[in-house]
Amino acid sequence: MSFSFEVLHNSKGTRARLGKMHTPHGIVETPVFVPVGTQATVKSLTPEELCELGVQMVLANTYHLYLRPGHDVISELGGLHRFMHWDRALLTDSGGYQVFSLSKLSKISNEGVTFQSHLDGSTHLLTPEKAMEIQGALGSDIMMSLDECTPYPATHKESQESLKRSIDWARRSKESGNPGNGALFGIVQGGMFQDLRARGVEAITNMGFDGYALGGLSVGEPREMMLDIVASTLPLVPKAAPRYIMGVGTPEDLIQLVSLGADMFDCVIPTRNARNGRLFVRSGTLNICNARYRTDQAPVEAGCPCYTCTHYSRAYLRHLFMAKELLAYRLNTIHNIYFFVMLMKEMRNAIRQGRFAQFKKGFYSQNTG
């Protein structure tokens, strides 16, 4: 296993930290935002474009790739990196979240989850061991233990039972043996209850993973509740390991969570919003469908050096989007990913230079939502 993490710098006045993950496919600087490439592609973009945008790591979904084209197919073709022509780091989730959110569930037991494929209705059993086998076959750089994503709302009792299962599955994930060259992260559940989160951290960190994730956040709870859980839970996680908040978030969320000590994030927000015509700018977002952009010569954001802003007007992007042209999704995605990547880079620079607290304050005063 060739994974390591080092903290290079701690922010003063916040818990933000600058770090570096060494993975089998290169260095990843943290805090990092990981774009989602569900089906072995970040929708509409090539790997070369992702590299040019400064993307260091991409997330691929175990659930989707297991069902189509099959992890066995990808393994036979030399692994996911080669399959999708991506030579930087790959993170894979465990499949658990998608099983609960996308498929028709047949049965959850301590053994695992029996589910029906959202593609063809076929029945499958996902166990912690199977999740590891799939991720190993894909050749992931960072694998995740199988967890049960506790829904929101859930009672204390429900959350406790769910946590118990996730802890058990984490143990089995670890015990099944790391099949590849990558790291294995444990996932802490516990719903919206601080005592359960604390218990989750204790159990998971005692097992000793390469990194720790908080799962089950941004599942419908109020934003303040999410931030409270992170604020109270992250300090319990060993400082020496990377801390990953799964499925989050908006630019405001990312800044807030970095200030609480988080190192990694993945989210469909920049890519999905791009395909819906919602583009990120410093002051919030703009909806490219808006008739006000019909003859607007300006780029999405003045001064933005991304490919889209360098060469195209809002008027052209609006035209492409209204005409449902494929290039619309691509140009929008380029801008939004660039926005997120740059935001993380600015945060890293600010931490390095000891001015993260100011950066955060400045960003919020600029941002009007």
Based on the residue annotation, tell me whether 87 is a catalytic residue of this protein.
no
Q: Give the range of 16-24, 284-292, 323-331, 344-352 binding its own copies by CB under 8 A.
A: 323-331
SS3 44: coil
- Cα distances (Å, whole numbers) of residue 192 to 67, 93, 151, 229: 31, 21, 10, 7
- Name the segment binding its own copies (CB under 8 A); options: 41-49, 125-133, 151-159, 160-168: 41-49
Taking Cα atoms as reference points, which of 177, 62, 74 lies closest to residue 113?
A: 62
Dihedral sign for Cα 259, 260, 262, 267, please: negative
Report the residue from 9, 118, 272, 319 that binds its own copies according to the rule CB under 8 A: 319
Closest CA to 85 of 144, 34, 136, 25: 25
Is 292 near its own copies (CB under 8 A)? no
Shortest Cβ 120–its own copies spacing (Å): 12
Assess 21 for contact with its own copies (CB under 8 A).
Answer: no
Residue written as token pair 């990547």: 341
Q: Cβ 345 to its own copies, closest distance in Å?
A: 24
**The token pair that represents 32 in the structure block:** 């990092």
Closest CA to 79 of 129, 135, 21: 135
Interface region with its own copies, contact rule CB under 8 A, candidates 77-85, 179-187, 223-231, 239-247: 77-85
CB 182 within 8 A of CB 1: yes
Single-letter amino acid code for the residue at 102: L
DSSP per position, 97-118: HHHHHTSEEEEE-SS-EEEE-T
Among 295, 349, 353, 366, binds its own copies (CB under 8 A): 295
For the bound state, the minimum distance from the C-beta of residue 337 to its own copies, rounded and expressed in Å, comes to 14
Least distance (Å) between residue 13 CB and its own copies: 43
Contact between 312 and its own copies per CB under 8 A? yes
Task: Compare residues 45 and 260 and give the one whose CB is closer to its own copies.
Answer: 45
368 binds its own copies (CB under 8 A): no
H, E, C per residue of 296-350: CCCCCCCCCCCHHHHHCCHHHHHHHHHCCCHHHHHHHHHHHHHHHHHHHHHHHHH
Considering only residues 47 to 76 of the shown chain, the ones binding its own copies according to CB under 8 A are 64, 68-69, 73, 76
Q: How many residues does the chain have?
A: 369
Catalytic status, residue 72: no
From 45, 59, 203, 344, residue interacting with its own copies (rule: CB under 8 A)? 45
- How many residues touch its own copies (CB under 8 A)? 36
Tell me which of 72, 87, 93, 228 is the catalytic residue: 93
**Nearest distance from residue 180's CB to its own copies, in Å?**
20
The DSSP-derived string for 169-227 is HHHHHHHT---SSSEEEEEE--TT-HHHHHHHHHHHHHH--SEEEE-S-SSSS-HHHHH
322 interacts with its own copies by CB under 8 A: yes
In the complex with its own copies, which residue's Cβ is closer, 6 or 325?
325
Of 228-287, which residues contact its own copies (CB under 8 A)? none
- The only residue of 41, 117, 178, 194 in contact with its own copies, by rule CB under 8 A: 41
Which positions are annotated as active-site residues?
93, 266
Residues at the contact surface with its own copies, assessed by CB under 8 A: 39-41, 43-46, 64, 68-69, 73, 76-78, 83-85, 294-295, 297, 307, 311-313, 315-316, 318-320, 322-323, 325-327, 329-330
